[in-house]
Amino acid sequence: MANEGHLAIVKQGVANWNEWSQDNPKIVPNLEGANLKATNLREINLYKAELREVSFSQGDLSMANLEGANLGIAVLERATLYTAVLYRANLREANLYKADLRESDLSQVDLSMANLREANLCTALLEGAILYTAILHKANLWEASLYKADLREADFSMANLREANLSLANLSMANLCMANLVGATLYAANLGGANLNLANLCMANLLGASLHRATLVSATLIGANLYKASLVEANLRKADLREATLSLANLTDANLHSANLSRTNLRDVNLQGANLSLANLSEANLHRANLKGSKINGANLTGACLREAILPDGTVHE
């Protein structure tokens, strides 16, 4: 329960609260369970405050200091947290539906199981954050930084991650169905088992990324960089990979049935056991590619470069 004295001070306004907080730096503010719905708390200092189950819905916390605060199960639905500092805060199971978190600092926060559906996280800082099983359906993360974030099993379906930084992030088993990842950076990211069906990854950087058993059915990867990426047993059926870079990638046993690989760079790629039936490989570069045991029936290889490639029957093309 909230400390009644602390609650009385906060209701006197931000100026009074911040003055009290400055005069009492050793006191941990306790507003647990308080109803502060639709309250103006712009620039309030709630450093390391106990805010578990507090209702801030529709409130204004722009430029607030919530560093290290405990906001577990807090209600921040439609709240404004523009440029707020939440560094290392606990937001486990918090409700941030349609919250405005633009340019906020959420680095190293715990957002496990949080509801961020349709939240605005444009240019937000989420480096090292934990979003395990969090819901970000239709969230806007344009140019957000999720470097080294834990995004396992998170729901990013239909989310906007255009030009976001997901380098070294863990997205294993995440749902990115129909997500916008145009120009996103996923350098060495873990996307093992992730759902990327119908996702748009045009010009995305997936250099060294792991997509083991990921599903990318009908995904768009035009011009994407998949150099040295691992796509072992990945499902790329009907994916659009025109002009993508897949040199030195591992596509062992991958499903590329009916995929468009026109003018794609597949130099030194491993396609052992891959299914390329009905795939479009016109003008693709397959120099020194390993196609041993692959299925290429019905594939279009018009103008493709197969110099020194290992063909499905194990022979080497001259």
Which ranges constitute the DSSP H helices of the chain? 4-10, 14-23
Whole-angstrom distance, CA of residue 227 vs CA of residue 152:
23
Residue 18: exposed, middle, or buried by beta-carbon count in 10 A (0-12, 13-18, 19+)?
Answer: middle
pLDDT in tens, 164-220: 999 999 999 999 999 999 999 999 999 999 999 999 999 999 999 999 999 999 999
Residue from 145, 228, 241, 238 nearest 185 by CA: 145
Give the per-residue pLDDT at 50.
98
Bridge partners for 220 per DSSP = 200, 240
- Are the beta carbons of 191 and 172 closer than 8 angstroms? yes
- How far apart CA 194 and CA 171 sit, in angstroms, is 7
User: What is this structure's pTM?
Assistant: 0.96
Q: Please, what are the domains in the chain?
A: 176-318 (2.160.20.80)
Q: How far apart are CA 172 and CA 159, in angstroms?
A: 17
- The pLDDT value recorded for residue 17 is 97
In the chain, which stretches have pLDDT less than 70?
none
Q: For residue 29, what are its two tokens?
A: 């503010």
66-96 tens-digit pLDDT? 999 999 999 999 999 999 999 999 999 999 9
Spatial CA neighbour of 127 closest among 169, 161, 160? 169
Which residues fall within 8 angstroms of residue 268, CB to CB, at 6 or more apart? 247, 248, 287, 288, 289
Q: What is the phi-psi region of residue 8: left when phi exceeds 0, alpha when psi lies from -120 to 50, beta otherwise?
A: alpha
At 167 the pLDDT is: 98
**Contacts for 280 with CB less than 8 Å, ≥ 6 apart:** 259, 260, 261, 262, 299, 300
